A and B are shown apart, each in its own frame.
Chain A
Amino acid sequence: GDSVTQMEGPVTLSEEAFLTINCTYTATGYPSLFWYVQYPGEGLQLLLKATKADDKGSNKGFEATYRKETTSFHLEKGSVQVSDSAVYFCALHSNTGNQFYFGTGTSLTVIP
């Protein structure tokens, strides 16, 4: 069945460091791919999405490119800030069903 495998954390980075959080997926059909973020004490929020191969989603300096050949959707940011400290979830929605599938989440802590 469909699934998402996400890089395990926790990840700790210094401010202004480069961030990569890996995400790979298994899906039938042509899924849409998402990154959600959960800041401390808050609910899940959509960070970015891509709906077809080679699309790049971007928001708040974060980017992720939908790579069909490697079934990946890695999250990147060139220079992280303390305010980026949160838990990040990779997710997919298959166009053959109704379900969303989430990864286990990666906790990021950015230290000044």
Chain B
Amino acid sequence: GAGVSQTPSNKVTEKGKYVELRCDPISGHTALYWYRQSLGQGPEFLIYFQGTGAADDSGLPNDRFFAVRPEGSVSTLKIQRTERGDSAVYLCASSPSRTTDTQYFGPGTRLTVL
């Protein structure tokens, strides 16, 4: 079946602009995670959804970052007033349920802020 997909694969924006990154999880997966991966680093947790609600947003670095999952499937990560330090690969992962802790990762969106 289809895996986790993310769009766009690459996004180049200017400092101060607003961006949206989209994640389509595997159908039926209730858990969804967003991560940020900087060059040479491992994925860094941002936010976790169980269904439609953000069960844990403690990894969001500041209030410029926000994510939604209104229907419990597709999720959008939103970044306001982008800064050069936001440049990274943003990864999405989904899992069948909270108790099934194996995650399936998407290919990521590479965000470059000029």
Binding site for B on A (CB under 8 A): 4, 6, 32, 34, 36, 42-46, 49, 51, 89, 91, 93, 97-105
* A112 CA / B98 CA spacing, docked (Å): 42
Establish whether residues B108 and A43, one from each chain, have CB atoms under 8 Å apart when the complex forms: yes
On whether the beta carbons of B91 and A46 are closer than 8 Å, the reply is no
Given contacts A43-B105, A100-B45, A105-B40, 18 further A-B contacts (CB under 8 A): A34-B102, A42-B107, A43-B106, A44-B105, A45-B105, A46-B104, A51-B101, A98-B98, A99-B48, A99-B58, A100-B43, A100-B103, A102-B42, A102-B44, A104-B41, A104-B42, A105-B41, A105-B42
State the CA gap A104–B101 with chains docked (Å).
20
What is the predominant secondary structure among interface residues of chain B facing chain A?
loop
Number of interface residues of B (CB under 8 A): 25
In the complex, the answer to whether A44 meets B91 with C-beta atoms within 8 Å is yes
CB contacts (< 8 Å) of A43 on chain B: these are: 4, 91, 105-108
